[in-house]
Amino acid sequence: MAAKVKSRQDHSLRLGVNIDHVATIRNARGGEHPDPVRAARIAAAAGADGITAHLREDRRHISDRDIRALSRDIELPLNLEMAATEEMLEIALAHRPHAACIVPEKRRELTTEGGLDVIRGRKKLAPFVAKLGAAGIRVSLFIDPDLEQIDAAADLGVPVIELHTGKYCDSEGVARAAELERIRRGATLAAKLGLECHAGHGLAFDTVGAVAAIPEIIELNIGHFLVGEAIFIGFDAAIRRMREAMDEARAIQAGMGKPS
């Protein structure tokens, strides 16, 4: 069996590296290369605090075998992104990852386009939250930075929410500033309600700093950009640079200046 790998660092702002698109590239040809477990090991050595993988219903990237291998071979906490379906619940309960992030899933979408509607979906989501939580899995809900959705998530009793940063990343100028403000207000409310606040989707070197500087956010999950950037500078270097950008923004926000 391959050696297990742990992160050596203890960060105030955690980085979860999403390795879905390592599997996308592998699946373009079938076979074993590039191997998401190898990518997870590189991520651990480069300063990731966790590994995130989305087992989609159509298995377009991460496979059941990947989840088995990641659960077995990687010591970093595994965050399983999953739709609220019986099939995914069964898989989560079988592997008992450290965390499960419930995401909305539409078959035709290119990526997770928006957050869950927790207000309308409360009845459907409640048993998933309860069963995952009872199994000792830290449950989070992926939602837009919408105050009513955050309230609804707190009402459902989840310990964690992840705010969707896609709109912030995809917009420009005044619209981007407004989206950032929504994320800030959302994170403030989450903290007030006792929710651990995470964020992610679409983050890149030029967008991560402003989100990392929000003190209530304690974890970022980043994937597509890192895998893309790996083509140019390598996966290890891309993760290290992202880590630096996060830590620098956090240190400046905390009044500590640039980390040495």
Structure tokens given for 102: 């419930």
Return the residues of window 43-72 that contact ligand PXP according to CB under 6 A.
Answer: 54
Structure tokens given for 260: 């040495």
Out of 49, 81, 179, 229, name the contact with ligand PXP by CB under 6 A: 81
Q: Which stretch binds ligand PXP (CB under 6 A): 117-125, 151-159, 217-225, 230-238?
A: 217-225
Q: Which stretch binds ligand PXP (CB under 6 A): 67-75, 201-209, 235-243, 244-252?
A: 201-209
Query: Which CB atom, from 2 or from 216, has the smaller least distance to ligand PXP?
Result: 216
Query: Which CB atom, from 122 or from 224, has the smaller least distance to ligand PXP?
Result: 224
List of residues 6+ apart from 90 with CB closer than 8 A: none
Query: Which CB atom, from 87 or from 109, has the smaller least distance to ligand PXP?
Result: 109
Are 98 and 76 contacting, i.e. CB atoms less than 8 angstroms apart? no
Asked if 168 interacts with ligand PXP (CB under 6 A), we say: no
Out of 15, 19, 20, 158, name the contact with ligand PXP by CB under 6 A: 20
Out of 128, 142, 168, 235, name the contact with ligand PXP by CB under 6 A: 142
Q: Is the dihedral of CA 126, 132, 133, 135 positive or negative?
A: positive
Contact mark string toward ligand PXP, 95..114, x via CB under 6 A: ------x-x-------xx--
Q: Which residues are catalytic?
A: 54, 81, 201
Are 200 and 169 contacting, i.e. CB atoms less than 8 angstroms apart? no
Structure tokens given for 74: 């990687």
Phi, psi (5° rounding) for residue 222?
-135, 135
Neighbours of 88 (CB within 10 A): 22
# residues near ligand PXP by CB under 6 A = 19
Query: Which CB atom, from 180 or from 257, has the smaller least distance to ligand PXP?
Result: 180
Out of 97, 104, 186, 200, name the contact with ligand PXP by CB under 6 A: 200
Note the residues at the interface with ligand PXP (CB under 6 A). 18, 20, 54, 81, 101, 103, 111-112, 142, 162, 200-203, 221-225
